[in-house]
């Protein structure tokens, strides 16, 4: 375990050993959590090390053990509303294994992604967690680094992944509306080209059957689209008593527009969102029933899965699906 005579941490390992009345080897074992020592010895050495300002150097430990104790976290969406809770969960789980998380935001730019991957590779990250990147990462730079995909299911079933089942998630909303006795449903979705749109549209069709009164309506991920979709539906004369939306923003726009048209929520129309985003679901009147994908749990399980692989533990499931739940508020009942 190397130490340095310059700042930060001016004390050397020998100083700690002398002050604690133990050998240098014992200090090393105590601070690295290795060997067989009494807990009180470990605690005493740690407290002496703290008092003297001595800190071990995990880069040195990493070089000797072939590990860097770092994990790269790669995302495409600038750590927005979806990646952040996943990152928080992953950080929590990885801290248990004393792993630090290095951020890499590709901003959906392929050249930038390649550059960041090379940089992570040079730093000898022990593993990667990748979110919002279903196509996977190709090329020689990553094949040798254990990688866990989150949020989106990767193409290959051999990849490690912790994901959400979007089809099942939206089905929860449809089943909730049907269970409340709603029989004439609309589905207001995001852009047709969005990866998740066809999956959700098919799931809504399957779950609603004849109770879906017209095909899914596609627009943007915005409140403005929710408002416009309601205008379109009302202008077309279609009769509906329930709306299932693919985002909380769409649902908020739809809910507020319906009220502006004089419809009571939930008496005339029950409405559901997707994402359970507090800035939306708690702000509407009444509050918005929504689907929570438990992104923090996805991140936590991804971190745990990666630790299991890195430490050679047996992995029962290489792909874990985290169930969503419906959070019921005044917009439906």
Distance of closest approach, residue 133 Cβ to a copy of itself, in angstroms = 18
Answer whether 254's CB lies under 8 Å from 261's CB. no
96 touching a copy of itself, by CB under 8 A: no
The greatest distance separating any two alpha carbons of the chain, rounded to the nearest whole angstrom, comes to 86
271 touching a copy of itself, by CB under 8 A: no
Stretch that binds a copy of itself, among 2-10, 13-21, 162-170, 237-245 (CB under 8 A): 2-10
Among 41, 220, 222, 319, binds a copy of itself (CB under 8 A): 222
Q: Tell me the two tokens of residue 96.
A: 């248990």
Tell me which DSSP letter residue 7 carries.
S
| β-bridge pairing 290-292 and 325-327 | antiparallel
Dist CA 85 CA 282 (whole Å)? 18
Q: Which of 274, 291, 290, 271 is nearest to 177 (CA)?
A: 271
- Number of Cβ within a 10 Å radius of residue 91: 18
Taken in order 48, 51, 52, 53, the sign of the CA dihedral is: positive
262 touching a copy of itself, by CB under 8 A: no
121 touching a copy of itself, by CB under 8 A: yes
CB proximity list for 329: less than 8 A, separation 6 or greater:
281, 286, 287, 288, 289, 290
Among 14, 35, 53, 209, binds a copy of itself (CB under 8 A): 53
60 touching a copy of itself, by CB under 8 A: yes
Among 179, 238, 279, 315, binds a copy of itself (CB under 8 A): 279
Distance of closest approach, residue 164 Cβ to a copy of itself, in angstroms = 20
Closer residue to a copy of itself in complex, CB, 242/275: 275
Dist CA 247 CA 227 (whole Å)? 13
Closer residue to a copy of itself in complex, CB, 36/144: 144
The residues of the shown chain that bind a copy of itself, judged by CB under 8 A, are: 2, 4, 6-9, 53, 55-60, 62-63, 66, 68, 70, 73, 78-80, 84, 87-88, 91, 98, 100-103, 105, 118-119, 121-124, 140, 144-145, 222-224, 249, 252-253, 279-280, 282-283
């Amino acid at each position: 375990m190397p130490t340095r005579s310059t700042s930060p941490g001016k004390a050397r390992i020998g100083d700690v050993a002398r002050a604690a009345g133990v050998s240098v080897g014992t200090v090393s074992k105590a601070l690295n959590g290795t060997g067989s020592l009494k807990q009180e010895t470990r605690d005493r050495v740690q407290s002496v090390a703290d008092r003297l300002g001595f800190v071990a150097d995990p880069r040195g430990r990493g070089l000797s053990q072939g590990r860097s104790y770092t994990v790269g976290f790669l995302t495409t969406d600038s750590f927005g509303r979806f990646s952040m809770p996943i990152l928080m969960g992953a950080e929590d789980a990885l801290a248990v294994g004393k792993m630090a998380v290095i951020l890499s935001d590709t901003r959906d730019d392929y050249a930038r992604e390649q550059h960041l991957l090379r940089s992570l590779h040079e730093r000898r990250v022990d593993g990667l967690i990748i979110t919002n990147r279903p196509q996977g990462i190709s090329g020689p730079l990553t094949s040798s680094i254990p990688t866990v995909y989150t949020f989106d299911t990767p193409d290959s079933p051999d990849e490690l992944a912790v994901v959400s089942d979007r089809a099942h998630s939206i089905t929860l909303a449809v089943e909730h509306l049907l269970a409340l006795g709603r029989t004439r449903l609309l589905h207001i979705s995001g852009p047709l080209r969005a990866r998740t749109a066809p999956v959700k549209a098919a799931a809504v069709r399957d779950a609603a059957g004849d109770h879906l009164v017209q095909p899914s309506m596609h627009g943007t991920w915005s409140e403005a689209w929710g408002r416009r979709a309601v205008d379109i539906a009302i202008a077309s004369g279609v009769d509906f008593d329930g709306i299932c939306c693919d985002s909380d923003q769409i649902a908020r726009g739809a809910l507020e527009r319906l009220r502006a048209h004089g419809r009571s929520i939930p008496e005339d129309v029950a409405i559901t969102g997707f994402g359970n985003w507090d800035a939306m679901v708690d702000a509407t009147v009444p509050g918005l029933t929504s689907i929570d994908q438990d992104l923090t749990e996805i991140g936590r399980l991804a971190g745990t899965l990666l630790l299991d692989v890195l430490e050679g533990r047996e992995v029962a499931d290489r792909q874990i699906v985290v169930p969503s739940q419906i959070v019921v508020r005044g917009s439906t009942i």
